[in-house]
Structures are given as structure tokens and as C-alpha cells.
Chain A
């Protein structure tokens, strides 16, 4: 292509190889090498997903009910796993519990965390540094430690007899809180505070300013934090294991199942979870692009 080198724009250079043939063999390789390695790594990440998907159709030799031991190989193809999802005992109950727990924990963590993020970004007060530290610590704590300390507390305060929904939610809120704060904080620090000044200049009092300007602009961050919270909570095993008592969430069900009968329906659920979230995220992205285009 006869492109005038001196007018090559920044964006052109970013996407394609440089148009000057001379000294860029090295750069061409490194350009593409990075991208190729990146794609390979991505592919590697999806290998287990592929297996989960494939195994959801697996008809193992253990009989038509689809029970097998975890780690079995693919044997025969069947649709029955998909049509009998709730057949294994307790599977759907655990799913229900997981969803209830995660929604509750997400709501609580998002509210508390958003309040904290606002306080940290928009207001000045003493002890900011130590607040930051305290919020960071749960993220730095291995789940084993967090779970065990919560269990220890429940035991010593006599609550160990009521381990269940409440204690699970308490634990989940705990580790989601820090992530919510970080996410919302990131969004808030990027916000132009002059917009709120403009609102007050235009006769909006503090509450109106918050409701009409601050909150809508912070919303993407809050939503992102909520989604992050939900996924962390839904998939959590270690902390839940310590604080669940007799209750069984979905990850706990899977863990228990691996020791004995391992219904292939679990792979079905895994696949469904993947598809639902994947579609959800893609849809959100498409929606976001549509809105962005309307803006630009």
C-alpha cells in the first residue's frame, strides 16, 4: 500500500503492522507474537469450559441416570442430563439457596460498600488512611483464615447451632464489601465534581444533586460492583464451607458430590451458568455500545 509514511496516524499504527518494510521485521514479530500468545492463553482458559460443556452430554457407563465419578471420561452422548436437571437429590435446592444467598449478600454489600466509597472519595476526615487499610485487609486475607475466624467467632459466641443462611450471608458480605468499595471508588474518582457544583449552581440542593447527578453518573460503577459481588458470592466455596453448617449451597453440593455420586447434571448446570452469564455480559456490552454511539 502506498501510504505516505509521514502521515501515518496513531490509530493506523496501533492496529496493523508498520508500513515501512525496512527495519521492522523484529517489530512485526513482536507485534504479532504478543497477540498470538495472548490468544493461546485465552484458548487455554477455555479448555475446561469445553470439557464441561461436552461432559454435560455424557452418558457414562454407570447407568441411564447419569451418575458417574468425577473425572470420568467421555463415553456416550445423551440429552437426558439436560432434560432431568433437577433429578439428583438436593441439586436444585442448593441452586435456590445459592441464588438467595448471593442476591441478599449482593444487596447488602453493594449498599454498605457504596456508602463507604462515597465517604472515602468525597469527604475528608481523619483516619482516612486506616480506613483504607481496614477495607483492604479482607482482600488480603486468605479465605481459609477468613472462614475459620468467622467460624471461631460463631462457635465462641454460641451461634454455632444456627449456622446456615444468615451466617453464610454474613460471610459473603464480608468478602464482597472490599471489592464493592474498590469498584465504586474507581468510578467515583473518575467523576468530575464540577458537575455537582453546576447542579447546585442551578438550584439543586444537596439531596437533589445526589439523586439527579451523582447517582446516575456513579451507577455504572455500582452496577459493576453488584455484578462482581454476585459472582464472587455465587461461586464461593471455602468461606461458605466453614460457615454453612448443614446448609448446602451449589458449590458445596458439587464438593460433596465429588466424593460420591457425581451427577452429570452438574455439568449441565455449569454450562447453563456459563451461557447465562456470557449472554448477559455480551448483551450488556452491546447495550452499552448502542448508548455510547448515541452519545458520540
Chain B
């Protein structure tokens, strides 16, 4: 019997379909009891990875361990792992009660009846126990799927985009709900999603996946504030990326020539190799001020900007600033009401605190990870 309450280890996991490598040499450790998110666009291999952990796919290479025990070769029904499927996969010919009780009965648990009823109450579906899945709403079905998995007290709970089919309001509710449940019962959750907001809200650790590999893994804040690839920089939130030349790479601060203006970035936030780099700065970190009015502090400054677009979004105002080198930078400012909005054509200087900028390798695609219009719902 595999022990639960262990860390989950994936080692050099690879999955090939013919010539196509869905997952390549993936290695990560999910600490026991944490909420772990596998984040990435569709087709990046996150679902395949999940299925390999569940035992529903055989890895082409690599190992999966729970603690010290190698579970790679174990059949799904031998693993202490349960899955909440994207389409819920509720058994249509069984009642809610029978669905939830399914796992317990297969394992021969004697007092499954009471446990099942308790779980159904826990997910607030008490009156529906005798109904069939087709009679429930999407949100209700989702809760059944969750209850059906959790009741088995798995070592790891896998969730494959479980909130994808829900409307926005319900999704937000369920995010909070799921996080609360996970914190309470301290079961390891591995949550697969393409929604970066969802991942950042819920997860303790996020692994950003792209084309079968992990681009970066860490706490949400760490990934957001200090991305190491353009993909991560664009996939989480939005970033301005400006091509620069590295002047001085030694020392605590890396100096770069940003289109004729000098900018310094702390070397811990520099992930560039070679002579050029993408200078990254998030729109909400930029402070725009009227030209020549910026106070020269030790923050980074770019002069010569001109407001080319103003979008009022309620909570914030989003500006597009045309810079002298034919690039438009995004600047988001919260509508605190403390100062007037800029107008189209205003000449501005952009400044930010040097601890907010980052440098990324110039070889990377500046558009990697950006949401295309068709990705938006």
C-alpha cells in the first residue's frame, strides 16, 4: 500500500506520441499538503502530465515517485491519487450517492454509506443524493466530482481545469471554496489550468509550462515580479519588453543602453546572456509624469514619450505611450483620483523603481505567451 502524506516527485518525465513530444524531461517536486498549479496554454502538456500522474497515460520515459515509492508502473486503481476531470466524468447511470460512494465501495470500505452521506452534505448537495447527474446543474456536477474524489482521502488530488465550464461568478466562488477546502484538509492539490489569474489566486506554487517543458516554477509573486523568460513575463499579466544593449554586466547592477538612455537593473533580476537583452517592466509599475517634471531620483527614467491612447477601464486607466524608437509602451495607473488623467498627445517621462525591472535573454521571442484575441473568452 502506497503511503500518502508524501511529497510527489516527477523525474525526467517524458511523453511522446509518435514524433511529437508532449512532455519533455519534466522534473518537479510537489511538497505534501501544498496547492500546486500547472499553468500553461492549451497544448503545452499540462493535462498529459496530470494524466501520467493519475496513471491514465504511460510515460515514454521518466519516473513518478510518492515519497520513496516508485509508482510509475502502478495501475491507476493502485495509486493513492484521484482526479477531478474537466468534464466531471460522472457516471450517468448512477445516482449522486452511488457516484460519490464508488471509490469507497471498490476499496471495500464497510461503513461507506455514512461517509458518503457526510461528503454529500459537505459539498452542499444533500437533497440531490438520489438524483442522476443529468438532473444537476454544471456547478452542482462539479461539486459531485470533487466530493467523489476527495472522499477517498487521496495522497494527491489532481484537478484538470475543473472550473473551465463554469461562468465567471461561479468560478470565482469555487476558486475560493477549493482553496479553503485544500487549506483545511491539507491534501496535496495539483491543479491544471490555463487561467493565470486562477493559478495566482489559488496556488502556493506555480509551474508555468510551454511546449512540454517548465519555463519557471515558484511562488506566484516570485513568478510575477521576477520572470525568467519572455513567455512567463507575457503569460502572467502583461509586460513591456524593450530591446537593449548590455553596457556593463559586472557588478551589483547591470547597466544597459535602452535605445539611447541608460537604465540599471539589479543583477539578481537579470536573466540575460550575451550582449543584448530584453528590458522588462510591468505597466502598473511605471509612473508617468509630464515631460521634464520627473524628479531625478535613482529610479530608472525613460524620456521622450507621448501619450497615444487613453483607455478608461474603471479601476484603472490604461495608456499607450509612443516612444521615440517606434515602440508603444503600456502604462496602467490606478484611478486613485489624486491626479488628473493624461490626454492624448501629452508629452511624458516614464519612471519606475529599479527593483521592478528585469532583463531577459534577447534570443527569446518577445511575443511568447502573449494572449491572442482568440484566447480570450
Contacts and interface: CB of A to CB of B under 8 A. Distances in A.
Interface string A167-206: 0000000000000000000000000101101111111110
Interface stretch (B101-109, B119-127, B290-298): B101-109
B55 interface: yes
Contact of B89 (A198, A295, A296): A198
A296 B83 contact: no
Interface string A273-296: 000000000000000000000111
Given A202-B152, A294-B132, A296-B135, A195 B89 contact: yes
A95 interface: no
A202 B106 CA distance: 8
Nearest to A296: B134
Given A195-B89, A198-B89, A199-B102, A205 B75 contact: yes
Interface string B152-192: 10000000000000000000000000000000000000000
B77 A205 contact: yes
A241 to B, nearest CB: 43
B127 to A, nearest CB: 16
B89 A192 contact: yes
A294 B152 CA distance: 29
B135 A201 contact: no
Given A294-B132, A295-B134, A296-B134, A201 B91 contact: no
A34 to B, nearest CB: 32
Contact of B85 (A198, A208, A217, A296): A198
Contact of B91 (A199, A200, A205, A208): A199
A194 B82 contact: no
B56 interface: yes
B48 to A, nearest CB: 13
The interface centre, meaning the residue of B56, B75, B106 with most chain A CB atoms within 10 A of its CB, is: B106
A256 interface: no
B92 A201 contact: no
B91 to A, nearest CB: 6
B152 A203 contact: yes
A194 B135 contact: no
A92 interface: no
A38 interface: no
A202 B56 contact: no
B106 A194 contact: no
Nearest to A194: B89
Contacts of A86: none
Contact of B92 (A197, A200, A202, A217): A217
The interface centre, meaning the residue of A195, A197, A203, A295 with most chain B CB atoms within 10 A of its CB, is: A203
A205 B75 CA distance: 8
B: interface residue count bin? 20 to 34
B353 interface: no
B107 to A, nearest CB: 5
A213 interface: yes
A201 B55 CA distance: 8
B372 interface: no
Nearest to A204: B106
Given A208-B106, A294-B132, A201 B93 contact: no
Nearest to B76: A200
A56 B90 CA distance: 52
B148 interface: yes
A270 interface: no
Given A295-B135, A296-B134, A200 B77 contact: yes
Interface string B58-102: 000000000000000001110001110101011111000000001
B82 A202 contact: yes
Contact of A201 (B54, B87, B132): B54
B76 A295 contact: no
A195 B91 contact: yes
Contacts of B77: 200-205
A216 interface: yes
Nearest to B151: A202
Contacts of B90: 198
27 contacts: A194-B87, A195-B89, A197-B76, A198-B85, A198-B91, A199-B91, A200-B56, A200-B75, A200-B76, A201-B54, A201-B56, A201-B76, A201-B77, A201-B83, A201-B149, A202-B77, A202-B102, A203-B77, A203-B107, A204-B77, A204-B102, A205-B75, A217-B92, A217-B93, A294-B132, A294-B135, A295-B132
The 4 A-B residue pairs whose C-beta atoms are closest, nearest first, are A198-B89, A202-B103, A203-B106, A200-B76
